[in-house]
């Protein structure tokens, strides 16, 4: 990017941030609300796993409704709304144009939230579609997709009116995400998937791509932006960025069908998917090298910056979860871990340790800039980081550890099925404990966000850098 050689009038970053303020804050704060709601549902569902009689009297609070709603509110509420807010802010900064169609995006955000409320009530009332990741009724999904399309229009207008010569790597990912997600959402809502086999194919095509072609690009775009931005060091290699992006674009779309290993689908269908899942090693390793080589030698900075702590944790989780995913796709591995808690933990490493932690990191950078205020407590940010990081690590280790044993027990015909269930109970308790840690982290995050936006009490005047306490900050 080469500023200073533009003929058209330019906006300064503070003007861009000011224009983006309301849109970005609205989307992110909506997301934070759904994060809290989704966390509550997660705790209820997790406790029910080892306390099955708890809250079982009411049909509205049975596991089969609470757990899908947890997934749907986290995915379409927290991660999508906050992710969209982060994406719009990043694009405004990177294309050096204000966020376009701001009024329409606010309208879309309001509709989106209403759709989430309606969809949530319908799931709790028993109206789930019964398709994983698509439990919301079609009406809710269609509204959400239309709202994303409005954002996509804004994004494409920003792209057309850009004031930069070269598109930074984050821009590729974000533009692609805003084109891919509407396609996924619309196709999955079409009433053409009537036969069970075809519906299962659509289900996993959609669900895996929602992660890989919507949340992953937003997460990687954030990593590609914040790592060099905060460190002040250039991204290691432009060529590797290219390879990583096109590798994802080429291979990811095929991945979903490895969920159907052993199902009544043609062998070639599953085999191609497994091959593509293994091929994902290429973009993942390339992106990991690119990020690692950018960060290497600056790990001190990672410890000191609230943003980088989360972003680097998330980027490392991305590498880990993706390599794990490639391995899990192999038939011999899948045979053991399929239908066990291993896969549940894998999904949480993806959506939580990668996507959610990345969004936390992005918020710690974006919110002070759009509000022109400062985080008021560094110790609370530290608490937030350690509670969520330790929480998700306990979650992953406990469930993936027992998941392997559970898997071997389930394929052993001599082990009664009940034993494969009871053996997991202590680890399900560990999962609830980790959930409580993460929930505490979310409460801290919400409190910090609330202080930033509605600012009760005094605000510190200077940017927060850990281990570098200023005299004026102490007073």
Partner 1 sequence: MAEEKKYEGRDTGPDKHKMNPEEQERRVNQERAADQERPEKRDKPGVSSDFTDPEDERSMEELHRAAMEREEQLPEEGNERGPWWMYAIIVATLAFGFFYMGRYLGEISDQPHVLFTTPAPVDEVAEELDLMATGSRVYTRLCQSCHQQDGAGVPGAFPPLGGSEWVIGAPERPVYIVLQGFQGEIVRNGVTYNAVMPGFGRLLSDDEVASVVTYIRNSFGNEAPEVTPEEVAEMREAAAGRTDPWTEAGLDEFIGL
Which 365-404 positions form the footprint of partner 1 (CB under 8 A)? 365, 368-369, 371-374
Kindly tell me which of 194 and 472 has the beta carbon lying closer to partner 1. Answer: 472
* CA nearest to 299, candidates 288, 287, 309: 309
Out of 80, 113, 154, 298, which residue is the one contacting partner 1 (CB under 8 A)?
Answer: 298
CA atoms within 13 A on the CB side of 357: 30
Binding to partner 1 in span 417-446, by CB under 8 A: none
Q: Does 461 bind partner 1 (CB under 8 A)?
A: yes
Q: Residue 175 CB, nearest distance to partner 1 (Å)?
A: 17
C-beta closer to partner 1: residue 11 or 405: 11
Which of 27, 81, 97, 274 touches partner 1 by CB under 8 A? 274
The alpha carbon of 451 is separated from its chain's Cα centroid by a whole number of angstroms, namely 24
Cα three-residue angle 75-126-146, rounded to 5 degrees: 40
Q: How far apart, in whole angstroms, are the C-alpha atoms of residue 131 and residue 144?
A: 17
Residue (29 or 116) nearer to partner 1, CB: 29
> What CA–CA distance (Å, rounded) separates 274 from 261?
9
x/- mask, partner 1, residues 103-142, rule CB under 8 A, reads ----------------------------------------
In whole angstroms, what is the distance from residue 348 CA to residue 171 CA?
26
Cβ 105 vs Cβ 23: under 8 Å: yes
Question: What is the C-alpha to C-alpha distance for residues 60 and 74, in angstroms, rounded to an integer?
Answer: 19
**Residue closer to partner 1, measured from CB, 235 or 345:** 235
Residue 194 C-beta: closest distance to partner 1, Å: 17
Residue 196 within binding range of partner 1, rule CB under 8 A:
no
Q: Which is nearer to partner 1, 18 or 50 (CB)?
A: 18
DSSP-assigned letter for residue 356: I
Instruction: Indicate whether 293 belongs to the interface with partner 1 (CB under 8 A).
Output: yes
Options 74-82, 136-144, 377-385, 463-471: segment touching partner 1 (CB under 8 A):
463-471
One residue of 250, 279, 440, 443 binding partner 1 per CB under 8 A: 279
Q: Is-contact 194 150, C-beta < 8 A?
A: no
In the complex with partner 1, the residue whose CB is nearer, 199 or 459, is 459
Here's the x/- map for partner 1, 216-245, by CB under 8 A: it reads as ---------x--xxxxxxxxxxxxxx----
> Least separation, in Å, of the C-beta of 130 and partner 1?
22
**The tokens of 195 are what?**
């036969």
Among 331, 333, 351, CA closest to 396? 351
Rounded CA-CA distance 104/26 in Å is: 13
Site for partner 1 in 312-351 (CB under 8 A): 331
The total of other beta-carbon atoms located within 10 Å of residue 134's CB is 24
State which H helix or E strand residue 340 sits in: none
Please provide residue 415's backbone torsions phi and psi, each rounded to the nearest 5 degrees: -95, 120
Give the nearest distance from C-beta 331 to partner 1 in angstroms. 8
- Determine the Cα–Cα distance for residues 368 and 375; give it in Å rounded to an integer: 7
* Segment interacting with partner 1 (CB under 8 A) among 116-124, 180-188, 364-372, 432-440: 364-372
Task: Give the phi and the psi of residue 462 in degrees, each rounded to 5.
Answer: -120, 155
- 76/251 with CB nearer partner 1: 251
Q: Which of residues 3-42 bind partner 1 (CB under 8 A)?
A: 3-4, 10, 12-15, 17-18, 21
């Amino acid at each position: 990017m080469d500023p200073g050689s533009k003929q058209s009038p330019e906006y300064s970053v503070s003007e861009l941030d000011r224009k983006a303020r309301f849109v970005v804050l609205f989307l992110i704060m909506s997301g934070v609300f759904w994060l809290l709601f989704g966390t509550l549902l997660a705790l209820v569902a997790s406790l029910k796993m080892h306390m099955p009689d708890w809250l079982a009297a009411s049909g509205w609070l049975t596991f089969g409704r609470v757990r899908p709603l947890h997934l749907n509110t986290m995915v379409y509420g927290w991660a999508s709304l906050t992710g969209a807010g982060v994406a719009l802010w990043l694009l405004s900064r990177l294309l050096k144009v204000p966020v376009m169609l701001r009024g329409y995006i606010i309208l879309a955000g309001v509709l989106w939230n209403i759709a989430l409320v309606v969809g949530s009530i319908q799931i709790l009332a028993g109206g789930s579609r019964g398709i994983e990741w698509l439990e919301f009724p079609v009406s809710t999904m269609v509204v959400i997709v239309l709202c994303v399309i409005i954002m996509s229009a804004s994004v494409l207008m920003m792209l057309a009116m850009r004031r930069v010569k070269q598109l930074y790597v984050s821009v590729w990912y974000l533009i692609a995400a805003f084109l891919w997600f509407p396609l996924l959402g619309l196709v999955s809502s079409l009433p053409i998937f009537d036969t069970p086999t075809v519906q299962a194919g659509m289900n996993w095509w959609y669900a895996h791509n929602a992660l890989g072609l919507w949340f992953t690009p937003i997460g990687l775009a954030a990593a590609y932006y914040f790592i060099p931005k905060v460190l002040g060091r250039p991204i290691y290699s432009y060529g590797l960025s290219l390879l990583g992006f096109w590798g994802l674009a080429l291979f990811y779309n095929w991945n979903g069908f490895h969920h159907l290993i052993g199902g009544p689908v043609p062998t070639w269908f599953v085999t191609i998917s497994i091959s593509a899942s293994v091929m994902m090693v290429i973009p993942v390793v390339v992106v990991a090298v690119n990020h690692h080589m950018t960060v290497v030698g600056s790990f001190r900075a990672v410890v000191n910056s609230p943003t980088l702590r989360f972003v680097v944790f998330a980027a490392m989780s991305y590498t880990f979860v993706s390599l794990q995913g490639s391995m899990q796709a192999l038939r011999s591995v899948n045979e053991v871990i399929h239908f066990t808690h291993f896969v549940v933990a894998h999904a949480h490493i993806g959506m939580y340790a990668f996507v959610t932690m990345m969004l936390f990191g992005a918020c710690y950078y974006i919110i002070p800039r759009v509000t022109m205020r400062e985080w008021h407590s560094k110790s609370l940010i530290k608490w937030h980081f350690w509670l969520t990081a330790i929480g998700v690590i306990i979650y992953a280790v406990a469930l993936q550890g027992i998941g392997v044993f559970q898997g071997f027990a389930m394929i052993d015909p001599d082990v009664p099925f009940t034993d494969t269930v009871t053996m997991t109970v202590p680890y399900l308790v560990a999962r609830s404990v980790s959930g409580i840690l993460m929930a505490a982290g979310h409460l801290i995050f919400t409190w910090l966000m609330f202080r930033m936006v509605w600012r009760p009490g005094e605000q510190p005047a200077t940017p927060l850098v850990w281990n570098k306490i200023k005299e004026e900050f102490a007073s």
